[in-house]
Amino acid sequence: MSRIEQITELLKENPSDSFLQHALALEYVKSGNDPDAKSVFEKLLADNPYYVGSYYHLAKLFERLGQDDEAIKVYERGMDIAKELGEQHAYGELKSAYEYLIY
C-alpha cells in the first residue's frame, strides 16, 4: 500500500484531520500530482485557515504552475495568519519566499 493510500485510509476515519490532509497533499506533490495537491491544500485551508504550514507549500505549488499572482496572494494570507498567531518562524519563511518571488 502506498503512502497516499495509507493516508487516504486514515482520512476516511478522521476526514477533518488537518495533519493528515497536509501529509496527503505533500505526498501528491512528491508524486508530481499537482492538481490533487492543490485541491487538498485549498480544502484544508478553507476548513482550517490557521494551519499555517500549508500556505508555504500551496504558494510554492502555484509558483511551479507559473501562477505567481496566486502564489503572492497565498503568501500574503499566510503571513497575515502567522502574524495573528504569533508564529514568527512561519512568518519569516513565508516572507522570505514572498520577497524572493516579488523582487
3-102, what's its fold? 1.25.40
Instruction: Give me the pLDDT at residue 4, please.
Output: 98
Burial 53-63 (b: 16+ CB within 10 A, else e): bbbbbbbbbbb
Of the candidates 3, 68, 55, the residue with the CA atom closest to the CA atom of residue 30 = 3
Instruction: Give me the pLDDT at residue 12, please.
Output: 97
3-state secondary structure of 15: coil
pLDDT in tens, 46-89: 999 999 999 999 999 999 999 999 999 999 999 999 999 999 99
Among residues of the chain, what percentage have pLDDT more than 70?
Answer: 100
Residue-range domain boundaries for the chain: 3-102
Average predicted confidence (pLDDT) for the chain: 98
- pTM value? 0.96
Note the helical H segments in 1-103. Answer: 3-13, 18-30, 34-47, 53-64, 68-85, 88-102
Burial class of residue 94, CB neighbours in 10 A (0-12, 13-18, 19+):
buried
